[in-house]
Amino acid sequence: MSSNSFGKLFTVTTFGESHGPAIGCVIDGCPPGLAIATEEFRRDLDRRATGRSRHTSQRHEADEVEILSGVYEGRTTGTPIALLIRNTDPRSKDYGDIAQTFRPGHADYTYWQKYGIRDPRGGGRASARETTMRVAAAVVAKKWLAERHGVRVRGHLAQLGDIVPRGFDWEAVEANPFFWPDAGQVAELERAMDALRKCGDSVGARVNAVAEGVPPGWGEPVYGKLDGDLAAGMMSINAVKGVEIGAGFAAVSQRGTQHRDQMHLDGFTSNHAGGILGGISTGQPVSVSVAFKPTSSILVPGDSVNLAGEGVQVVTKGRHDPCVGIRATPIVEAMLALVLMDHALRHRAQCGDVGPMAPRIA
Amino acid sequence: MSSNSFGKLFTVTTFGESHGPAIGCVIDGCPPGLAIATEEFRRDLDRRATGRSRHTSQRHEADEVEILSGVYEGRTTGTPIALLIRNTDPRSKDYGDIAQTFRPGHADYTYWQKYGIRDPRGGGRASARETTMRVAAAVVAKKWLAERHGVRVRGHLAQLGDIVPRGFDWEAVEANPFFWPDAGQVAELERAMDALRKCGDSVGARVNAVAEGVPPGWGEPVYGKLDGDLAAGMMSINAVKGVEIGAGFAAVSQRGTQHRDQMHLDGFTSNHAGGILGGISTGQPVSVSVAFKPTSSILVPGDSVNLAGEGVQVVTKGRHDPCVGIRATPIVEAMLALVLMDHALRHRAQCGDVGPMAPRIA
Amino acid sequence: MSSNSFGKLFTVTTFGESHGPAIGCVIDGCPPGLAIATEEFRRDLDRRATGRSRHTSQRHEADEVEILSGVYEGRTTGTPIALLIRNTDPRSKDYGDIAQTFRPGHADYTYWQKYGIRDPRGGGRASARETTMRVAAAVVAKKWLAERHGVRVRGHLAQLGDIVPRGFDWEAVEANPFFWPDAGQVAELERAMDALRKCGDSVGARVNAVAEGVPPGWGEPVYGKLDGDLAAGMMSINAVKGVEIGAGFAAVSQRGTQHRDQMHLDGFTSNHAGGILGGISTGQPVSVSVAFKPTSSILVPGDSVNLAGEGVQVVTKGRHDPCVGIRATPIVEAMLALVLMDHALRHRAQCGDVGPMAPRIA
Amino acid sequence: MSSNSFGKLFTVTTFGESHGPAIGCVIDGCPPGLAIATEEFRRDLDRRATGRSRHTSQRHEADEVEILSGVYEGRTTGTPIALLIRNTDPRSKDYGDIAQTFRPGHADYTYWQKYGIRDPRGGGRASARETTMRVAAAVVAKKWLAERHGVRVRGHLAQLGDIVPRGFDWEAVEANPFFWPDAGQVAELERAMDALRKCGDSVGARVNAVAEGVPPGWGEPVYGKLDGDLAAGMMSINAVKGVEIGAGFAAVSQRGTQHRDQMHLDGFTSNHAGGILGGISTGQPVSVSVAFKPTSSILVPGDSVNLAGEGVQVVTKGRHDPCVGIRATPIVEAMLALVLMDHALRHRAQCGDVGPMAPRIA
């Protein structure tokens, strides 16, 4: 069904269950000649890794990427690039009784209803472990976008429960385990997380990402819109419940005079559009904001039913991650990069490698 | 590029510009044997029609659907269903000087940058006129979903600028031109619209839609998620800037104990998930909420540039629609129906026409 | 299901039944800026038209193409191009009793088994009438290929029953109603056709097509091979039973020393490969040969069954076309052009608008 | 570009180069609940293996399949099934000087012209090694088709150079290394192969495959025809130059009275259609015939050019396989099974799990 593939021309197909032998992906459509090495995957995979801080679950995954194909003497050849990561720390014993129980807020019940069979070990295919391969595939996309077009993709945590950033500094983002843009609030975030851990509860989060340097003209009418594909990509991330482009839901209360981004040759006066008009990039930064629900696996018991049709109480033991959103930043960045990469190729398919049209807004 | 097609198995391809000879669509993959007649398109097309009230632009489109293929003796045959609507009221003279100017908030500049050519008449392909065909195609989807699975798709306006519904009554929704669920507020909405029209400004809106009766098991991991496709479909509607499933962005501030929908055999205790877990339907109502930006075509002059690279003032003359969102309800419903229809077929492709698994939450 | 669409990036979706209101197509992905006018469709449509000579069935179709979208001021805009042809000569009365009977060699029985319903008028969707839209869409492709890359696509009848060409002259091909490359044999062909008509029988045919000027590098490993897509395209034409690239089935008896096309800088010594190696064009002419079965609608009665499950005798009345292959040349050309067009765009998507690599075989 | 994927609903994506670390595939869309074990891949992989007899090249590949995902406790779960085979015998030293030379009849020159870079080791992605994964994926398809629909897919060598079978016996096919249906001719084939090996030349071959038990109704108009997809699948196999369905090119010389398969309730009188009419299965055996060109890697020197643009003589050293066709039978069977599997799912997507319509030809 190709439902495990993303992208029309830069197509990423992922496979693997959380506690199976391995996870991996196949990237089809990558332009030839791009230099890529195993080491380049490490940084973003480490950023996503679950063991990054005491505020995320303590599973330590080596996440060693093996390039199985598509690269010859350090350069992409144009043929499919297969990436493989062995699951080295399955610990499937932790998940034994889950096989008989549908956990609230998880995909247990829906997978069962769909397939009549499910791999219960660590959430199986529904685990956030799958997103590792998105991040890996996006390393390739980010590099090509940067080298070829000067595009830079970045993200940060924008809300944790009710806490919002007071200041904003890109430097700070990479300097704390929350990807939080205000270094002065990190202690506050840690206290909030500790409190959640103590009471066994969890909280939601908002992640923003932005791509600078995207040339005008990427995206397609009308079902291939850049924002449409971004929405699909973001909503396909585990635990995501909402997606905004530019002003997002704030646009509901805005006036037209306020929302429309007036144009001068030296620039737009604002970017409520989030860098996209009519589904096509304007040349302004492409900005997206994503809502993550609170982790469903919590220590507070919840009501559910089991396979035998009995009412049961479910409680998560062992690993507990009070906010899935705090390690989601690299994943949101990855989806943004994958969508842009795909549209870069789609644009030149239809319109060729043409330069910008005049007049061009700075 | 198939970028004008939506859906994998129930595939709708639309074509046509706002002021060209016609708009139309081709529906590929419709199951055979469904009774469908020309008259059945009228109700939803009328609901979407721009001339519905004095609060929407006064273009009177006949919107007479002609079935060109795929139906024999009143029943679908399984071959592509082509629908055609002639544009009877082009009045392209209204749009003469737009050809030289990029209107702020519109796709003029981005189409130009992408293609180096654009059809300026009424917004061309970027016009909301395209959504007429989504509504038409969804008439077929809604009927099959209702007949085959008892699915009912409904929608309503959920916010107009800062105004939110006080009460909620589905009966009221169809009884006023705003699709507003509280009849007692209609006068207030009319005053708000009149005020906007007077000052030549516009405002955003929120539209909600819900599908009841969706069986559990529709949707696919991991890039074919039901919510992922809903997000793509909604974000592909003109002027949409945000999409939420279930709790949406409210989930950011929620606790896990609050968000997770606990399960009992006689039902879920809540529906923060919006009827979808792990990308697959739970059997609860599938609910989506969509943000529309304020109309960009307003009477207040705005700064822009023209083709010659000069700074200009842009002002919309003639038709003025202070809120595009108030006629968007049928379009949001349509996208919800199209996504569900597609997933109904995708589900039985992979899993067959199986009945529900036990245990099933009521 | 998109089963009525052809091409990944230059996507042609056709619709319409033989005796319904109209047939048409939507071309999605056409590059912008191509000049195209209604008149340009006439030549190839006339070449394909059934009333071309007394040797084809006498239905006179006006085949007036209307451009419904995607063209502004005579140039393609990059948005979908919809083409429409009204069916002006339905005469559905001719086909009355066919509704109850499955004609041997036709799709009557298989459509019935698949769908449980079928449009019996003139073969419905299974009619060769559908190929009209392939020819129309290919007019656009041929023009772009010619303008942009100097590609020239031509075809001819290469066998009629047991008759094969003695001489070969491209000039002759367009000068006789058979697309036959030896003018001296036309009288022989006419006698053969008259004899068939007299005895109410039919015969098969072979059509060859060739594309000159295709640059090396078009086509993709491994399921997107140029020859793989050509095979799919050709086999999708009504009545086709076989496809060959280059040497085709003759390669079975060839030795490696004989088949391999040796390479020198001033050219290949032969073209048994048919211009394709590893699924990718070599720069030599791309050549394909296609087998058409004899027309199934003949005047000689044949055994069959009817809807009631009774044995019946079927005989075609009225129109009788002793060889469908003799008007197939424009259709084979069309599919060749559509595949090349698609791959031209796919190539630049992945590899960009790069010039030829050195060394290049002349 | 998804050009390394095959199938719309039972989608197989392959990756890997002949002498890279591994080859593999991802099967997306497999129905859940199918029992599948590692051992089940062995039989067909062994049938395809290059070391099967002294008549094929002497590379000994272990071809141990590892199931990486999509199977839980021995049953498919509905999620992607990834299969991996490590390349254990690379011997890339054999291929050293090939990097600088374009071998005639190989994809060396075309990959270079397309990508500007190529993996020369063993043919890289263009190697027939890729077909291993088609055979592996088809093991899953064959099993489901057999269990669910009683479909049986078989194939055999039908011509070797000028030698054609005198008798036909399915038992014989599996009892000799040529998949030849007449045991009495095996010595003759061995002599022919020995003679070719002695003179360093090669020869082409024809492979036939047939699927029995296919129900009527599989396949789709008009670009999703069963025969269209078969043609694409077969032509995508390395070295294939021609594809026939049913009578194939023999239909060119046939009369309509001869070709059409008359219908009686107790069966068709013949099967010139090859089990497909209008692109949809008739219920008769689906039969396909495929032409393989002679191996291009031969010991007789041939003219070519090198990267520096100089004329050179190319000669294959080491492994020499005088006829690639003799181990192609399992690959042709595999593609037939994959296409049928895909259409089985496509059929039930659109038409549901319905039983046969009456009347049904036996």
In chain D, whose CA is at the least distance from the CA of A22?
A: D68
| The pLDDT value given to residue C317 | 77
Q: What is the mean pLDDT of residues D3-24?
A: 97
Q: Give the torsion through C-alpha atoms of B160, B165, B169, B174, to 10 deg.
A: -10
Nearest CA distance, D73 vs chain C (angstrom): 32
Three state DSSP letters for B245-273: ECCHHHHHCCEHHHHCCCEECCEECCCCC
| The pLDDT value given to residue B62 | 66
Q: In Å, how far are A138, A240, A348, C353 from A76, measured between CA atoms? A: 15, 33, 19, 18
In chain C, whose CA is at the least distance from the CA of D279?
A: C236
| The pLDDT value given to residue A352 | 93
- Highest-confidence range of A280-294, C77-91, C109-123, by mean pLDDT? A280-294
A90 pLDDT above the threshold of 60: no
Q: Which chains have 3+ CB pairs within 8 A of A?
A: B, C, D
**Residue type (1 letter), B58:** Q
CB contact under 8 A, B77 and C11: no
Are B131 and B63 spatial neighbours (Cβ–Cβ below 8 Å)? no
- Tell me which residue of C228, C233, C325 sits closest to C274, measured CA to CA: C228
| The pLDDT value given to residue B51 | 47
Residues of chain B with C-beta less than 8 angstroms from the C-beta of D348: 348-349, 352-353
**Residue type (1 letter), B80:** P
C16 pLDDT above the threshold of 50: yes
In chain C, whose CA is at the least distance from the CA of B79?
A: C125
| The pLDDT value given to residue D51 | 47
Are D110 and C281 spatial neighbours (Cβ–Cβ below 8 Å)? yes
Strand partners, A205: A160, A292
Q: How many CB pairs under 8 A join B and D?
A: 43
CB contact under 8 A, A17 and D117: no
Mutate to test the interface with D, among C252, C281, C298, C335 (most CBs of D within 10 A): C252
- Tell me which residue of A47, A57, A235, A36 sits closest to A132, measured CA to CA: A47
Distance CA A114, CA A128 (A): 19
Q: What is the pLDDT of residues D282-330, one digit of tens each?
A: 999 999 999 999 999 999 999 999 999 999 999 887 667 899 999 999 9
| The pLDDT value given to residue C268 | 97
More confident residue, A246 or A99: A246
Nearest CA distance, D188 vs chain A (angstrom): 41
D118 pLDDT above the threshold of 50: yes
Tokens of D19: 């002498």
Are C345 and C12 spatial neighbours (Cβ–Cβ below 8 Å)? no
Distance CA A265, CA D191 (A): 80
Provide DSSP, C211-229. EESPPTT---SSSS-HHHH
D184 pLDDT above the threshold of 60: yes
Buried b (16+ CB within 10 A) or exposed e, A35-50: ebeeebbbebbebbbb
Q: Which chains have 3+ CB pairs within 8 A of B?
A: A, C, D
Nearest CA distance, A37 vs chain B (angstrom): 27
CB contact under 8 A, C349 and A351: no
**Residue type (1 letter), C31:** P
Q: Please, which pLDDT band fits residue B357 given cuts at 50, 70 and 90?
A: confident
Binding residues of A, by number, are: 48, 54, 125-127, 238-239, 278, 293-297, 319
Q: Please, which pLDDT band fits residue C31 given cuts at 50, 70 and 90?
A: very high
Q: Residue A276's CB: how many other CB atoms inside 10 A?
A: 28
C239 pLDDT above the threshold of 90: yes
A167 touches chain C (CB under 8 A): no
| The pLDDT value given to residue C53 | 62
Q: Please, which pLDDT band fits residue D49 given cuts at 50, 70 and 90?
A: confident
Q: What is the pLDDT of residues B118-154, one digit of tens each?
A: 998 888 999 999 999 999 999 999 999 999 999 999 9
Nearest to A345 among C29, C32, C350 (CB): C350
Distance CA C293, CA D255 (A): 8
C26 touches chain B (CB under 8 A): yes
Distance CA D75, CA D31 (A): 10
Are D156 and D176 spatial neighbours (Cβ–Cβ below 8 Å)? no
B265 pLDDT above the threshold of 80: yes
Q: How many CB pairs under 8 A join C and D?
A: 399
| The pLDDT value given to residue B235 | 98
Residues of chain A with C-beta less than 8 angstroms from the C-beta of B114: 216-219, 280, 347, 351
C314 φ/ψ sector (left φ>0, alpha ψ -120 to 50, else beta): beta
CB contact under 8 A, D126 and C358: no
Are C106 and D263 spatial neighbours (Cβ–Cβ below 8 Å)? no
Q: What is the pLDDT of residues A60-75, one digit of tens each?
A: 556 899 999 999 999 9
| The pLDDT value given to residue A96 | 61
Are B295 and B286 spatial neighbours (Cβ–Cβ below 8 Å)? no
Q: Please, which pLDDT band fits residue D13 given cuts at 50, 70 and 90?
A: very high
In chain D, what percentage of residues exceed pLDDT 90?
85
Q: Please, which pLDDT band fits residue B53 given cuts at 50, 70 and 90?
A: low
Q: What is the pLDDT of residues A204-239, one digit of tens each?
A: 999 999 999 999 999 999 999 999 999 999 999 999
Are A81 and D16 spatial neighbours (Cβ–Cβ below 8 Å)? no
Q: What is the mean pLDDT of residues D268-289?
A: 98
Sign of CA dihedral B7, B8, B10, B12: positive
Q: How many CB pairs under 8 A join A and B?
A: 399
Q: Is D225 annotated as a binding residue?
A: no
Distance CA C79, CA A222 (A): 9
Q: Is C48 annotated as a binding residue?
A: yes
DSSP three-state, residue B14: strand
B95 pLDDT above the threshold of 70: no
Residues of chain A with C-beta less than 8 angstroms from the C-beta of D28: 1-5, 13
B248 touches chain D (CB under 8 A): no
Are C301 and C315 spatial neighbours (Cβ–Cβ below 8 Å)? yes
Residues of chain C with C-beta less than 8 angstroms from the C-beta of D219: 110, 114
Nearest CA distance, A167 vs chain C (angstrom): 41
Q: Please, which pLDDT band fits residue C51 given cuts at 50, 70 and 90?
A: very low
Q: What is the mean pLDDT of residues A332-350?
A: 98
* Tokens 């059929």 sit on residue: D347
Q: What is the pLDDT of residues B2-29, one digit of tens each?
A: 899 999 999 999 999 999 999 999 999 9
Q: Which domains does chain A have, with CATH numbers?
A: 5-351 (3.60.150.10)
Binding residues of A for FMN, by number, are: 125-127, 238-239, 278, 293-297, 319
Nearest to C349 among A9, A79, A221 (CB): A9
Distance CA B37, CA C344 (A): 41
**Cis (ω within 30 of 0) for the bond into A90?**
no
Distance CA C264, CA C255 (A): 20
B314 pLDDT above the threshold of 50: yes
Rg (CA), chain B: 21
D270 touches chain C (CB under 8 A): no
Q: Is B329 annotated as a binding residue?
A: no
CB contact under 8 A, C31 and A351: yes
Buried b (16+ CB within 10 A) or exposed e, B176-185: bbbbbbbeeb
A58 touches chain B (CB under 8 A): no
Nearest to A348 among C30, C32, C352 (CB): C352
A117 touches chain B (CB under 8 A): no
CB contact under 8 A, C256 and D295: yes
Distance CA D96, CA D121 (A): 8
Q: Which chains have 3+ CB pairs within 8 A of D?
A: A, B, C
A51 pLDDT above the threshold of 50: no
Q: A184-189, long-range: CB within 8 Å, 24+ apart, which pairs?
A: A188/A163, A189/A160, A189/A163
Distance CA A231, CA A243 (A): 6
- pTM value is 0.97
Tokens of D15: 């990756």
Residues of chain C with C-beta less than 8 angstroms from the C-beta of B75: 117
Q: Please, which pLDDT band fits residue B61 given cuts at 50, 70 and 90?
A: low
In chain C, what percentage of residues exceed pLDDT 70?
93
Nearest CA distance, A320 vs chain B (angstrom): 12
Q: Is D241 annotated as a binding residue?
A: no
Q: Please, which pLDDT band fits residue A317 given cuts at 50, 70 and 90?
A: confident
C205 φ/ψ sector (left φ>0, alpha ψ -120 to 50, else beta): beta
Rg (CA), chain D: 21
